Amino acid sequence: MMNKIVMATNNANKLREVREILSPLGIDVISQAEAGISCDPEENGSSFSENSEIKAEAVYNAYAEKKHENIAVIADDSGLCVDALDGRPGVYSARYAPKGQECARLLDEMNDIPDERRTARFICDITYINGYGMDFHFEGICEGIISREKLGENGFGYDPVFMYGGRTLAEMTAEEKNNISHRAKALGSLYKFLKERQGE
Ligand code: IMP
């Protein structure tokens, strides 16, 4: 197994989270910028797994072309699926409303939806491509309920309207969210997978 992995992201928070989780395995996670790669492929897949694969493959191929060698790559894609909206915003979560207005728009769109039909889930898919170009997927799901109002100041995106165990994710500390979040669960599965292959 390679002990260096490129993360296909320019998001410093995601990079830090992945670094923290994989560092006990002696794996060095570097950003695509640190690897000398700049690419921003169109995320035009119809599922989270298609989109994370598009991002991972773009970086894997760009690296191989530039450096004439292969390197392992991680990419993730995530979003919110609301049952009463037939799974929307789903893969369009980042584009559903202007940044900072996604919660207000969601509450507005769900104004007439009664409490018992406000179920939703965050989904995260991670693609890992190993040094031989083989793809592996790891999914994490966090089930919850869309609240009636924005609550809490922490987190980002839809956290202030996503209730888990009686509180929104924005009312939790980062550590509390990391115990239950879709991204943490997917990363936990990736960690287990890589740990089992150490020494191969
Ligand atoms: P991406 O995975 O960076 O493409 O992000 C997809 C979008 O889903 C984000 O811009 C957020 O709007 C939303 N999202 C994904 N994960 C979370 C989360 O943990 N909390 C709140 N919103 C999230």
Q: Judge if the beta carbon of residue 171 lies within 6 A of ligand 1.
A: no
- Which pLDDT score, from 0 to 100, does residue 10 have? 84
The catalytic residue among 77, 108, 112, 125 is: 77
Q: Judge if the beta carbon of residue 158 lies within 6 A of ligand 1.
A: yes
Q: Give the three-state DSSP class for 158.
A: coil
Dist. CA 32–CA 187, nearest whole Å: 18
- Which pLDDT score, from 0 to 100, does residue 21 have? 86
Q: Judge if the beta carbon of residue 102 lies within 6 A of ligand 1.
A: yes
What do you get for the CA distance between the two ends of the chain, in Å? 6
| Listed residue (134, 127, 121) closest to 189, CA to CA | 127
Residue 112 annotated to the active site? no
- What are the pLDDT digits (tens) for 118-148? 999 999 999 999 999 999 999 999 999 999 9
Torsion of the alpha carbons at 88, 94, 97 and 102, rounded to the nearest 10: 80
Q: Judge if the beta carbon of residue 94 lies within 6 A of ligand 1.
A: yes
Could you identify the atom of ligand 1 that is nearest to the CA of residue 9? 3
Could you identify the atom of ligand 1 that is nearest to the CA of residue 155? 20
Q: Which helix (H) or strand (E) holds 81?
A: strand 72-82
- Which pLDDT score, from 0 to 100, does residue 200 have? 59
Q: Judge if the beta carbon of residue 125 lies within 6 A of ligand 1.
A: no
Could you identify the atom of ligand 1 that is nearest to the CA of residue 96? 12
- Which pLDDT score, from 0 to 100, does residue 16 have? 87
- State which residues of the chain have pLDDT below 70: 1-2, 199-200
Q: Ligand 1 pocket: which of 11, 80, 146 to mutate (most atoms <8 Å of CB)?
A: 80
Round the CA-based radius of gyration of the chain to a whole number and report it. Answer: 18
- Which pLDDT score, from 0 to 100, does residue 2 have? 59
Go through the domains of the chain in sequence order and give each one's CATH number.
4-196 (3.90.950.10)
**Whether the Cβ atoms of residue 122 and residue 141 lie closer than 8 Å to each other:** yes
| pTM of the model as a whole | 0.93
Q: Give the three-state DSSP class for 1.
A: coil
Contacts of 68 (CB under 8 A, 6+ apart): none
Ligand 1 center to 167 CA (angstroms): 18
Decide the pairing of beta strands 162-164 and 167-168: antiparallel
Burial of 127 (0-12, 13-18, 19+ CB in 10 A): buried
- What is the residue type of 42? E
